[in-house]
Amino acid sequence: MDIENVFMSKLRIKTLKVLARVGELNVSEIARRLDVNYGTINNHLGVLEDEGLIVHKRFGRMRLYRFNPNSRKAEAVLNLLEVWEKQDK
């Protein structure tokens, strides 16, 4: 997938920002924090995971998502978000 397709969604960018700030969250908590329904955020998490930006681990039925520590793309996005957030302060 092209970078444009990954970042064309405000919701995907907001999801990455939340995960960058908090570290690790389950699907329901991400949906709650972004005020969207479970199905919508689940689809966006799938796109981000398919691109290797995030990973999940499973505890029973719960999935916890976080940035992929083994991905150069994820590292670059984290750096971008960090620099961008510092510029706003």
Residue 59, strand partner residues: 62
Asked if 12 contacts 48 with a C-beta cutoff of 8 angstroms, the reply is yes
pLDDT in tens, 19-51: 999 999 999 999 999 999 999 999 999 999 999
The domain spans of the chain are 3-88
Asked if 24 contacts 66 with a C-beta cutoff of 8 angstroms, the reply is yes
Asked if 65 contacts 54 with a C-beta cutoff of 8 angstroms, the reply is yes
Q: What is the pTM of this model?
A: 0.90
Q: Which CATH architecture has domain 3-88?
A: Orthogonal Bundle (1.10)
| CA dist., res. 76 & res. 21, Å (int) | 15
